Amino acid sequence: MSAAATLAEALEPLRADPAGAAILLDIDGTLAPIVRHADDAAVPEPTRTQLIAVAKRYAVVGCVSGRRSTTARRMVSIGSIAYAGNHGAEMLSPGGLEVQIDPEIAPHVRAVQDFASAAYTTDLQRLRVRSEDKQAIAAFHWRGAPDEDAAELALHDVAERAQAAGLAIHWGRKVLEVRPPIEINKGRGVRLLLDGRGLATALYVGDDMTDLDAFAGLRDLVEEGRLGACVCVGVRSDETPPALEQEADVLVDGPPGVRSMLMALAA
C-alpha cells in the first residue's frame, strides 16, 4: 500500500465527520519550515490559506507550540483558531485577547526568569547562544552558532545548574528549555484543547520529540473514553527523531507534505 493511500485512509474518518473532529498542529518544522534563526520562522501563505479553509470546516482547530501562544498566533496569523503555547502551559482561545496561564504553573514563573537572567552570561553570548523569554519557560538556542558543539557543551552546564536550583529542563532540536518543576508537555496542551468536548476523532501533526507527548496525550484521551479515535502524523525531515517515525500512525514529508494534507482535509 502506498504512503499516499495510507494517509488518505487515515484522514477519511475526519473528513467524513468534520463537526466531530479536531485538527491540531505543531508550528515550527510542521506548518513553518525550520530556519537558522527562530525569529525568522513564518508560515508560508499557501499553507496559511489551507489552514484557514480547514478552520472553517472542523469543530476544533488549534496549534500546540513550544513558543508563547501570542508568538504562535502572530506566526500563523489566524485569529479564529486556538493556541496552546509553551507546550500547554498557557492558552489563547479563538479570538481571545488575554493569555490564560495554567494556575499550577504561574507561581514558578519568577524563579524561571530569575535563573535565566543569571544564566545568560557573557560566555554564552560570546558563543552566540540566543536566549528566549517565554515567561513560564526560558529557552537557550544554539542553532546557527559559529561553534554549535561548544555552545551545546556550555548549555549542559546551564542544565546542571538549573536542576540543582530545583527547576526542570528539556532538550529539543538545538534548544535547551528551563521550566518550572511541574510536568509541562504538549500532551497537557492537547488536553486543554480537547478534554470535555466529546469529539469522535482528533488528528495531531508534529515533527519533534516534544510532539511525542501530544501523540501520547491523544491516545490517553482515547483510552479514557474521552475521545473516539485519533490519528498521529509525523513530519519527516533530515533531523527526524527515530522515535517520532516509530510512534506516528502515518508520515508526511516536511511542511510541503503538511500543506498537501491540509488541502486533502479541506477538500
Give the DSSP letter string of 142-159.
-TT-TTHHHHHHHHHHHH
Q: In the CATH scheme, what architecture does the domain 106-179 have?
A: 2-Layer Sandwich (3.30)
Cell triple for 146: 559559529
What pLDDT is attached to residue 4? 54
- Could you report the per-residue pLDDT of 105-136, keeping only the tens digit for each? 889 999 999 999 999 999 999 999 999 988 88
DSSP string computed for 174-237: TEEEEE-SS---HHHHHHHHHTTS--SEEEEEE-STHHHHHHHHHHHHHHTTSSSEEEEEEEE-
What pLDDT is attached to residue 135? 83
Where are the chain's structural domains? 3-103+184-266, 106-179
**What is the Cα–Cα distance from 21 to 8, expressed in whole angstroms?**
16
Q: What average pLDDT does the chain have?
A: 93
What pLDDT is attached to residue 196? 86
- Low-confidence residues of the chain, pLDDT below 70? 1-5
What pLDDT is attached to residue 1? 39
Q: Cβ contacts of residue 127 below 8 Å, gap of 6+?
A: 142, 145, 146, 147, 150, 151, 154
**What is the Cα–Cα distance from 163 to 168, expressed in whole angstroms?**
6
pTM as predicted: 0.83
What pLDDT is attached to residue 5? 58
CATH topology of domain 3-103+184-266: Rossmann fold (3.40.50)
* Same-fold call for 3-103+184-266 versus 106-179: no
